[in-house]
């Protein structure tokens, strides 16, 4: 035997060591480390999201308001893009070459393997052209999407718009991926979870060139998209459209509610915008314009504009007076061109005695100054402060100083000052007295209410003491129970006290009783209304009118605000009565057509530019 035979052991050791290292490494690679399995799945699976159709929106009469149109997003996976004819692609899509290059650069920065959207919302017509030439563009593919389309291009503020999901939502809600669409405002936002449906997904096996090799696992993992639920909302599209036409070239808002249900029939904020202006690529043009407009078309006045209610608040004080028994319908107060106590004076236009009904019809300030003072100084209460707190409770029971429409995301609560507010500002060193806050009696002063709250208050009067949660959703088709909780809110006023209020509000329209809105009398319809003027420190006063009709079975309660239009009777009252007439009769009687014409043509924004459109 040779002397080196022991060296075989070293060689065998080298062999075994190598094999041993391989076994250990393979055990770690294959059994312990699971990341490779995931990578492998990512490698071969392409998930194609199937976007569901968004739910449709119908109005209260079953008319289709909002539906979907097809649009196509062009995606690209940078790694797979080969040489292609950029000029051809740009001409098909009608885009600048620079735009395409920038988009591709951005996509490359995001990921070389993952696809990103290069061109959004290609119209069906252009898509048809593109599809024929698609084979010339390796690395690109098209994903169908849907965009909103509007049968009635109205109520932008109510319906809201759909847009690309923001990064915060992508982070907080797992459902959304960047680039998805969701409801940004309005109904679209409130009922997003129902409207959106559920995304589906198809899984395909792909090879290294991202070519589809077949469905994965026989399509067992595929998820079919679930179409979004259709909504029926409470708006009356005809009425809404009519209201928007009446309000064109005016600043202000209209809210109409069906008192027996709390359903909001119309909500106009003027100037506003058409929902179609916010669809898809249009929005990038419209949005900056709307946002920069000094008339604030994006601002929903109906739920966010705060005005003092003015004389429309007089019913409130009358009702509290009756409930607290400090007045009766027969109580008389003298108006001597106003209310005068010592050196204090609050002006009015009359020189006569008023009872409850006539005080409403002719809107006497003095009557309410007395009433308000009696309420606050009632012996029922320990002092004026307690009287005020009780008064505030009554007021708040009508839905003031709080948010009343849970579906509206951006509603403001308004303001009825709590007692410490006055304690701090008016009575820091003195006893509480009624006189310093007497302007509350005629709805001026520190009170702030929204048009929605005023419509709701009118509905509560029409109902003789209660109101339902104002809401937009009638039902979600296919869903048994309502989503929005509609509650009957009982006010603190007994129903027996409303009879005389109705009578007074009816006389507002009456020629015979010298009603303040007698010019807007509608033959054949018993309307109960009340004029109001909101003092405006910045310019001409705002014209307010609240009304409900018909008197014995109210079907509509409405509040109309026309900014800088001075008195309630000038603009707000005629607009209100036109809407009521339209709603109850379906048309405007011949004798009143001139009023309709005047209202529509009136331009309070730019008297010298009569053709200004809300937005188009």
Partner 1 sequence: MARRIQIWNKLDWLTILLYVIIVVAGWLNIYSAVYDEMHSNIFDLSQRYGKQIMWIGFSTVLAFFILLIDSKFYVSFSHVIYIIFIILLIAVLFFGREINGSKSWLMIGSFAIQPAEFAKLGTALVLAKTVSSYNFSFKNMLKLVQLVLLILLPVGLIFMQNDTGSALVFFVFIIPLFREGLSGLILFFILLVSVLFILTLVLPPLSLLIIVISLALFANLIIRKRLRDFLYIVGVFLVSAFFVWLFTYLFVDGETDFYYLLLRTSVGASLVLLIISLIKRIPQAALVVSLFVVSVALTFSVDFVFDNVLESHQQARINNFLGIESDPLGAGYNVNQSKIAIGSGGLTGKGFLQGTQTKYDFVPEQSTDFIFCTVGEEWGFAGTSFVILIFLTLLIRLIRLAERQRSVFSRVFGYSVASVIFFHFAINIGMTIGLAPVIGIPLPFFSYGGSSLWFFTALLFVFLKLDASRLEQLH
Could you give the angle at the alpha carbon of 204 between the alpha carbons of 199 and 206, nearest 5°?
Answer: 140
The stretch near partner 1 (CB under 8 A) out of 41-49, 66-74, 138-146, 296-304 is 41-49
- Choose which of 44, 48, 90, 600 interacts with partner 1 (CB under 8 A): 44
Q: Which of residues 550-609 bind partner 1 (CB under 8 A)?
A: none
- Tell me the per-residue interface mask from 55 to 84 with partner 1, x by CB under 8 A, - otherwise: ------------------------x-----
Q: For the CA atoms of the chain, what is the radius of gyration?
A: 34
Beta partners for residue 529, in sequence order: 547
Comparing C-alpha atoms, which of 607, 542, 483 is closest to residue 192?
A: 483
The stretch near partner 1 (CB under 8 A) out of 8-16, 137-145, 256-264, 274-282 is 8-16
Say whether the peptide bond before residue 550 is cis (omega within 30 degrees of 0).
yes
Please say whether the dihedral angle defined by the alpha carbons of residues 380, 384, 386 and 391, taken in this order, is positive or negative. positive
> DSSP 3-state helix, strand, coil percentages of the chain (rounded to 5)?
40, 20, 40
| Residue 112 is a binding residue for partner 1 (CB under 8 A) | yes
Beta partners for residue 513, in sequence order: none
Report the distance separating Cα 79 and Cα 113, nearest Å. Answer: 6
The stretch near partner 1 (CB under 8 A) out of 169-177, 201-209, 357-365, 387-395 is 201-209
Is residue 321 within 8 A of residue 359, CB to CB? The reply is no
Backbone φ and ψ of 537, nearest 5°: -65, -15
CB of 135 to partner 1, least distance (A): 21
- Choose which of 206, 223, 245, 492 interacts with partner 1 (CB under 8 A): 206
CB of 13 to partner 1, least distance (A): 11
- Choose which of 109, 177, 213, 424 interacts with partner 1 (CB under 8 A): 213
| Residue 220 is a binding residue for partner 1 (CB under 8 A) | no
CB of 79 to partner 1, least distance (A): 7
- Tell me the per-residue interface mask from 158 to 197 with partner 1, x by CB under 8 A, - otherwise: ----------------------------------------
| Residue 22 is a binding residue for partner 1 (CB under 8 A) | yes
| Residue 612 is a binding residue for partner 1 (CB under 8 A) | no
| Residue 110 is a binding residue for partner 1 (CB under 8 A) | no
CB of 23 to partner 1, least distance (A): 6
| Residue 212 is a binding residue for partner 1 (CB under 8 A) | no
Looking at residue 553, the DSSP 8-state letter turns out to be S
Is residue 531 within 8 A of residue 544, CB to CB? The reply is yes
| Residue 108 is a binding residue for partner 1 (CB under 8 A) | no
Q: Closer to partner 1 by CB, 78 or 451: give it.
A: 78
Half-sphere exposure of residue 92: CA atoms within 13 angstroms, side-chain side: 22
Give kind and range of the element (H or E) at residue 374: helix 365-376
The stretch near partner 1 (CB under 8 A) out of 200-208, 405-413, 525-533, 585-593 is 200-208
CB of 215 to partner 1, least distance (A): 13
Burial bucket for residue 328 (CB in 10 Å: 0-12, 13-18, 19+):
exposed
| Residue 33 is a binding residue for partner 1 (CB under 8 A) | yes
Comparing C-alpha atoms, which of 232, 295, 315 is closest to residue 497?
A: 315
- Tell me the per-residue interface mask from 370 to 399 with partner 1, x by CB under 8 A, - otherwise: ------------------------------
Q: Which of residues 515-544 bind partner 1 (CB under 8 A)?
A: none
Q: Closer to partner 1 by CB, 39 or 589: give it.
A: 39
CB of 208 to partner 1, least distance (A): 4
The stretch near partner 1 (CB under 8 A) out of 7-15, 243-251, 460-468, 484-492 is 7-15
The stretch near partner 1 (CB under 8 A) out of 23-31, 86-94, 221-229, 253-261 is 23-31
Q: How far is CA 497 from CA 96, 317, 494, 529, in A?
A: 70, 12, 6, 17
| Residue 21 is a binding residue for partner 1 (CB under 8 A) | yes
Q: Closer to partner 1 by CB, 46 or 474: give it.
A: 46
CB of 26 to partner 1, least distance (A): 5
- Choose which of 25, 105, 177, 424 interacts with partner 1 (CB under 8 A): 25
What's the distance, Cα to Cα, between the start and end of the chain in Å? 105
CB of 206 to partner 1, least distance (A): 7
Report the distance separating Cα 574 and Cα 519, nearest Å. Answer: 8
**Lookup: tokens for 434:** 């009624």
The stretch near partner 1 (CB under 8 A) out of 12-20, 90-98, 284-292, 397-405 is 12-20
Q: Closer to partner 1 by CB, 30 or 345: give it.
A: 30
**Lookup: tokens for 151:** 């049968």
Is residue 106 within 8 A of residue 118, CB to CB? The reply is no
Comparing C-alpha atoms, which of 228, 259, 121 is closest to residue 551?
A: 259
- Choose which of 134, 205, 245, 483 interacts with partner 1 (CB under 8 A): 205
| Residue 29 is a binding residue for partner 1 (CB under 8 A) | yes
Could you give the angle at the alpha carbon of 345 between the alpha carbons of 340 and 350, nearest 5°?
Answer: 70
Q: Which of residues 409-428 bind partner 1 (CB under 8 A)?
A: none
- Choose which of 83, 172, 209, 523 interacts with partner 1 (CB under 8 A): 209
Mention every residue, 6+ apart, whose C-beta is less than 8 A from residue 405.
264, 303, 411, 452, 469, 470, 471, 472
CA dihedral 387, 393, 398, 403 (to 10 degrees): 140
Looking at residue 29, the DSSP 8-state letter turns out to be I
Give kind and range of the element (H or E) at residue 242: helix 237-246
Reading phi first (left if > 0) and then psi (alpha if -120 to 50, else beta), residue 401 is in: left
DSSP class per residue in 567-586: STTTTHHHHHHHHHHHHHHS
CB of 107 to partner 1, least distance (A): 16
CB of 36 to partner 1, least distance (A): 2
Residues of the shown chain interacting with partner 1 in the complex, contacts defined by CB under 8 A? 2-5, 7-8, 10-12, 14-16, 18-19, 21-23, 25-27, 29-31, 33, 35-37, 39-41, 43-44, 79, 112, 205-209, 213
């Amino acid at each position: 035997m040779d002397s080196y035979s022991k060296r075989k052991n070293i060689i065998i050791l080298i062999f075994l060591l190598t094999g041993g290292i391989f076994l250990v490494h393979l055990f770690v690679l294959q059994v312990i480390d699971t990341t490779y399995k995931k990578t492998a799945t990512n490698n071969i699976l392409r998930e194609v999201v199937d976007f569901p159709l968004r739910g449709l929106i119908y109005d209260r009469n079953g008319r289709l308001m909002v539906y979907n149109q097809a649009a196509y997003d062009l995606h690209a996976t940078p790694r797979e893009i080969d040489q292609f004819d950029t000029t051809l692609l740009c001409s098909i899509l009608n885009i600048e070459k620079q735009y395409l290059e920038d988009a591709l650069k951005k996509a490359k920065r995001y990921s070389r393997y993952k696809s990103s959207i290069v061109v959004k919302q290609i119209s069906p017509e252009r898509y048809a052209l593109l599809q024929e030439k698609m084979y010339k563009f390796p690395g690109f593919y098209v994903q169908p999407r849907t965009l909103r389309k509007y049968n009635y291009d109205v109520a932008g503020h109510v319906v809201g718009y759909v847009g690309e999901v923001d990064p915060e939502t992508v982070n907080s809600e797992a459902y959304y991926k960047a680039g998805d669409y969701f409801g940004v405002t309005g109904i679209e936002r409130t009922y997003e979870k129902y409207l959106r449906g559920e995304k589906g997904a198809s899984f395909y096996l792909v090879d290294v060139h991202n070519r589809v090799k077949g469905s994965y696992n026989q399509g067992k993992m595929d998820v079919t998209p679930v179409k979004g639920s259709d909504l029926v909302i409470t708006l009356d599209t005809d009425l809404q459209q009519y209201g928007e036409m009446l309000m064109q070239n005016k600043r202000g808002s209209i809210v109409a509610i069906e008192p027996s249900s709390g359903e909001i029939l119309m909500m106009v904020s003027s100037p506003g915008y058409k929902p179609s202006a916010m669809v898809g690529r249009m929005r990038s043009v419209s949005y900056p314009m709307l946002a920069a407009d000094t008339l604030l078309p994006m601002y929903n006045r109906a739920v966010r504009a705060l005005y003092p209610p003015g004389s429309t608040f007089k019913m409130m004080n009358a009702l509290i007076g009756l409930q607290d028994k400090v007045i009766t319908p027969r109580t008389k107060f003298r108006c001597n061109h106003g209310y005068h106590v010592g050196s204090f004076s609050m002006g009015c236009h009359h020189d006569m005695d008023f009872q409850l009904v006539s005080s409403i019809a002719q809107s006497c300030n003095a009557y309410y100054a007395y009433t308000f003072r009696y309420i606050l100084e009632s012996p029922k209460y320990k002092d004026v402060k307690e009287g005020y707190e009780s008064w505030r409770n009554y007021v708040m029971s009508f839905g003031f100083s709080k948010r009343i429409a849970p579906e509206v995301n951006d509603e403001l609560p308004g303001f009825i000052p709590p007692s410490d507010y006055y304690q701090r500002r008016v009575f820091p060193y003195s006893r509480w007295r009624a006189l310093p806050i007497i302007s509350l009696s005629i709805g001026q002063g520190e009170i702030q209410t929204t048009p929605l709250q005023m419509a709701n208050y009118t509905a509560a009067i029409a109902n003789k003491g209660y109101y339902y949660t104002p809401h937009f959703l009638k039902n979600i088709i296919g869903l048994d129970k309502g989503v929005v909780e509609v509650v009957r809110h009982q006010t603190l006023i007994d129903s027996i006290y409303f009879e005389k209020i109705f009578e007074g509000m009816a006389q507002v329209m009456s020629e015979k009783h010298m009603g303040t809105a007698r010019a807007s009398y509608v033959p054949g319809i018993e309307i109960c209304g009340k004029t109001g003027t909101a003092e405006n420190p910045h310019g001409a006063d705002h014209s307010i009118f609240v009304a409900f009709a018909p008197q014995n079975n109210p079907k509509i309660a409405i509040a109309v605000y026309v900014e800088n239009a001075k008195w309630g009777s000038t603009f707000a009252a005629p607009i209100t009565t036109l809407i009521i007439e339209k709603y109850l009769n379906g048309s405007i009687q011949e004798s009143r057509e001139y009023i309709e014409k005047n209202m529509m043509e009136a331009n309070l924004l730019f008297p010298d530019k009569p053709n200004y459109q809300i937005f188009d």
